[in-house]
C-alpha cells in the first residue's frame, strides 16, 4: 500500500486550518474581548498530538482554549485522521454529539488519500506505531480500555502475529522453489493431509483444515515438501478458499508445466462457526483441477481413491 508521510510542517499547517474552521464557527463572539473558550479532547493516541497542535494554532489566533482529560468534558473532539468515520460515530453516540475535527479527513479528500496509509511524525518513532495505534483504536471501538493492564501490550502482539499470519504477501513461489529434471517418472505425485491455516478476507476470521495436492510430472519435478510451501505462501494472505485452490495449481503449472495438477481443500471457517449461522461441524470442500485431473475421469478417480485411503 502506498504511504503518505506527513511532515511536521504538513501537520502544523493542517492544525492551523482546523483552528481557522473553529474560529469561523464562533463568529457570534467576533470583536468581543472575551471570546468563547474551546475545550478540546484529543482522541487517544494520535488525536492527543493533533489536539496539542490545534490548541497551539488557536492560541496564535488569539482564541482561548483548554485541553480536557475526559471526552464528556470537551465541546470539540480532535483526531489525527478520519478513515471511515467509525471513531466519530463511536464518540458521538457514547459521549454526545460535538464538533469533530481531524488533521486528515479521508472522506473529504478521498481521491487523493484513497488507498494510502497515512503516517504522522509522532507515529514514525517506531516503524510499527501506525498499525499498533489502529489496533488500539479497534480495542477502544469494541468497548474496552486499551490502557488496562491486560491490554497494554496487546496491540504490539497483534502486529507481531500479523507478520506471521500474513507473511505470504512478501513471497513468491518462483523465488523459493527449486525445480529438478524428471527421471522418466510419469505417475501422479500426491501429498495429502497437509495442515493449513488461512484468514477469510470477508470477516478477517480464520479458516483452517487439510489440503491434498497432486501433480503428474512432465519434464520437471519439485521437492514434495515444496508443495506444502506453495500452499503456505498463498494461505498466509487474506483469502477465500476457492481462490487459494486455484493459486496453488496455477503456481505448480507455471513452475513445472506438468500434465495436470490438483488442489483439494477441506476447511472449517470461523465465520460459520463463531458468528453468523454458527454451525460448528460444517466443512467446506473446494477443488482446483487442471490438465489430466480435469479432463480424465479415470485420473480424477485415482486421485480421490488415494486421498480416501
What span, in angstroms and rounded, lies between the C-alpha atoms of 252 and 288? Answer: 12
pLDDT reported for residue 298: 95
DSSP β-bridge partners for residue 211? 194, 265
User: 72 and 96 in contact (C-beta within 8 Å)?
Assistant: yes
Residue 28 has what pLDDT?
Answer: 46
The pLDDT score that the predictor gives to residue 32 is: 46
CATH number among 3.20.20.70, 3.30.1130.10, 1.10.1670.10, 3.40.50.1700, domain 170-308: 3.30.1130.10
CA distances from 260 to 146, 181, 242, 283, 297 (A): 51, 17, 18, 26, 13
**The cell 464538533 sits on which residue?**
99
pLDDT at 170: 85
- Neighbour tally for 140: CB within 10 Å: 19
Distance CA 24, CA 26 (A): 5
CB-count exposure of residue 128 (10 Å: 0-12, 13-18, 19+): middle
Question: Residues in the chain with pLDDT < 50?
Answer: 28-34
Question: Residues 212, 229: contact at Cβ < 8 Å?
Answer: no
Rounded Cα gap, residues 187 and 184, in angstroms: 9
Q: Give backbone dihedrals phi and psi of 68, rounded to 5 degrees, phi first.
A: -90, 155
How far is Cα 249 from Cα 211, in angstroms, rounded to an integer? 12
Domain 2-125 CATH assignment equals 3.40.50.2020: yes
Q: What strand order describes the sheet that includes 206-216? A: 238-239, 189-200, 206-216, 260-269, 284-289
The residue ranges of every structural domain in the chain are 2-125, 170-308
- Rounded distance, CA 306 to CA 96, Å? 63
Of 42, 37, 36, 34, give the one whose Cα is nearest residue 15.
42
User: Three-state SS for 193?
Assistant: strand
pLDDT of residue 238: 96
pLDDT digits (tens, 9 = 90+) for 293-307: 999 999 999 999 999
Which are the contacts of 190, defined by CB distance < 8 A and separation ≥ 6? 212, 213, 214, 303, 306, 307
Helix (H, G, I), strand (E, B) or coil at 235: helix
Q: What is the 3-state secondary structure (H, E, C) of 81-112?
A: EECCCHHHHHHHHHHCCCCEEEEEECCCCHHH
Catalytic amino acids?
A: 200-203, 241, 269, 271
> Do the Cβ atoms of 282 and 273 come closer than 8 Å?
yes
Amino acid at each position: 500500500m502506498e504511504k503518505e508521510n506527513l511532515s511536521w510542517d504538513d501537520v502544523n499547517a493542517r492544525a492551523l486550518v482546523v483552528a481557522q474552521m473553529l474560529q469561523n464557527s464562533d463568529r457570534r463572539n467576533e470583536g468581543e474581548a472575551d471570546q468563547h473558550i474551546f475545550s478540546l479532547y484529543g482522541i487517544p493516541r494520535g488525536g492527543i498530538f493533533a489536539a496539542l497542535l490545534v490548541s497551539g494554532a488557536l492560541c496564535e489566533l488569539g482564541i482561548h482554549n483548554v485541553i480536557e482529560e475526559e471526552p464528556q468534558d470537551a465541546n470539540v473532539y480532535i483526531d489525527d485522521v478520519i478513515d471511515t468515520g467509525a471513531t466519530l460515530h463511536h464518540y458521538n453516540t457514547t459521549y454526545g454529539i460535538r464538533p469533530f475535527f481531524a488533521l486528515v479527513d479521508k472522506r473529504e479528500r478521498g481521491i487523493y488519500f484513497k488507498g494510502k496509509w497515512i503516517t504522522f511524525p509522532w507515529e514514525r518513532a517506531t516503524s510499527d506505531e501506525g498499525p499498533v495505534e489502529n489496533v488500539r483504536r479497534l480495542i477502544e471501538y469494541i468497548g474496552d480500555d486499551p490502557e488496562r493492564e491486560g491490554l497494554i501490550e496487546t496491540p504490539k502482539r497483534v502486529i507481531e502475529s500479523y507478520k506471521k499470519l500474513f507473511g505470504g504477501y512478501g513471497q513468491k513461489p518462483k523465488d523459493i522453489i527449486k525445480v529438478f529434471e524428471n527421471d522418466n517418472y510419469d505417475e501422479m505425485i500426491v501429498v495429502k493431509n497437509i495442515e493449513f491455516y488461512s484468514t477469510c478476507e470477508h470477516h478477517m476470521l480464520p479458516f483452517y483444515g487439510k489440503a491434498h495436492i497432486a501433480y503428474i510430472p512432465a519434464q520437471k519435478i519439485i521437492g514434495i515438501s515444496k508443495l506444502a510451501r506453495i500452499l503456505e505462501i498463498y494461505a498466509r494472505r487474506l483469502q477465500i478458499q476457492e481462490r487459494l485452490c486455484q493459486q496453488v495449481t496455477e503456481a505448480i503449472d507455471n513452475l513445472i508445466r506438468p500434465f495436470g495438477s490438483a488442489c483439494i481443500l477441506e476447511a472449517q471457517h470461523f465465520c460459520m462457526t463463531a458468528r453468523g449461522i454458527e454451525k460448528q461441524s460444517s466443512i467446506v470442500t473446494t477443488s482446483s483441477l487442471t490438465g489430466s485431473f480435469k479432463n480424465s475421469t479415470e485420473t480424477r478417480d485415482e486421485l480421490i481413491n488415494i486421498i480416501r485411503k
